[in-house]
Amino acid sequence: MMFFRNITIGQYIYRDSIIHKLDPRVKIITVILIITTIFLVNSWTGFFIIGFYLFINISLAKVHPKFVLKGIKPLLFIISFTLLIHFFTTPGDIIYRIWILNITREGIHRGLFISVRLFYLILSTSWLTLTTSPIALTDGIEKLLSFLKIIRVPAHEIAMMMTIALRFIPTLMEETEKIIKAQIARGADFESGNLVKRIQNFLPIIIPLFINAFHRADDLAIAMEARCYRGGEGRTHYRQLSINSIDHVFIIITLFILIVSYLWVV
């Protein structure tokens, strides 16, 4: 009954590749650009170009496609669900009829479009998280957000919260597993009963988990204070980010391809 052992947080896989060496900021911006474009693009040619571009990026990252597709598996249900909803609920030319449900040409078209968009969305974010270590990601986000400090976006605080979350998620998962097992050893049953009963059954897990998490938070706050932590001001960074020529080339190519995919309507 191993509940959580399989989960790896930030599914980062280390490889010696061009993509891995890119500055995290460049990769984050790339993903934002890709996502914006896939929701603007309205032609199959456009989608094809983006798909090809993603394929190249993933190949360059030297990460086995198996890992990329693993990220899609849990969301397959959502994709197929969206697909079906659009198939049946879009008005237009009816091309097939099952009982009271009509499948329309427009439905198929729209459904496929949305599915491809979701698919690309997951693909591009997986590409980012597979090739960027959680730390680099956090540093990148902090740096990117720091432009927004003028409008009082707490960039450092957000990054610090992400770091702590990343650090403690595995610990808390282990702890959850241990609590579940301990309560099972005391005869607790998490599998039977109606919904209300089941929610009640989870209290013996949730309550200790929260209490322990607060203890940890207390300890951690004291440890941080003892190590001279007093917010982001005057703080330096162990890891230095630098944008070099490869980053420039990459972002220019990306922009070019995305613009082409948007403008290309056949």
The one among 69, 174, 197, 263 contacting other proteins by CB under 8 A? 174
Interacting positions 143-172 with other proteins (CB under 8 A): 163-164, 166-167, 170-171
The one among 195, 228, 245, 266 contacting other proteins by CB under 8 A? 228
Residues touching other proteins: how many (CB under 8 A)? 51
Decide if residue 224 touches other proteins (CB under 8 A). Answer: yes
Distance CA 215, CA 263 (A): 55
3-state secondary structure the chain: CCCCCCCCCCCCCCCCCHHHHCCHHHHHHHHHHHHHHHHHCCCHHHHHHHHHHHHHHHHHCCCCHHHHHHHHHHHHHHHHHHHHHHHHHCCCCEEEEECCEEEEHHHHHHHHHHHHHHHHHHHHHHHHHHHCCHHHHHHHHHHHHHHHHHHCCCHHHHHHHHHHHHHHHHHHHHHHHHHHHHHHHCCCCCCCCCHHHHHHHHHHHHHHHHHHHHHHHHHHHHHHHHCCCCCCCCCCCCCCCCCCHHHHHHHHHHHHHHHHHHHCCC
C-beta closer to other proteins: residue 97 or 230: 230
Least separation in angstroms between residue 155's CB and other proteins is 15
Interacting positions 176-195 with other proteins (CB under 8 A): 178-179, 181-189
Least separation in angstroms between residue 209's CB and other proteins is 9
Least separation in angstroms between residue 149's CB and other proteins is 18
Decide if residue 203 touches other proteins (CB under 8 A). Answer: yes
Kindly indicate which of the ranges 73-81, 144-152, 204-212, 247-255 contains the residues binding other proteins, using the contact rule CB under 8 A.
204-212
Interacting positions 104-133 with other proteins (CB under 8 A): none
Decide if residue 241 touches other proteins (CB under 8 A). Answer: no
Decide if residue 1 touches other proteins (CB under 8 A). Answer: yes
Least separation in angstroms between residue 19's CB and other proteins is 19
C-beta closer to other proteins: residue 73 or 230: 230
Q: Which residues, 6 or more positions from 188, have their beta carbon under 8 angstroms from its beta carbon?
A: 201, 204
Residues in touch with other proteins (CB under 8 A): 1-2, 5-6, 134-135, 163-164, 166-167, 170-171, 174-175, 178-179, 181-189, 203-204, 207-208, 211-212, 215-216, 219-220, 222-230, 234-240
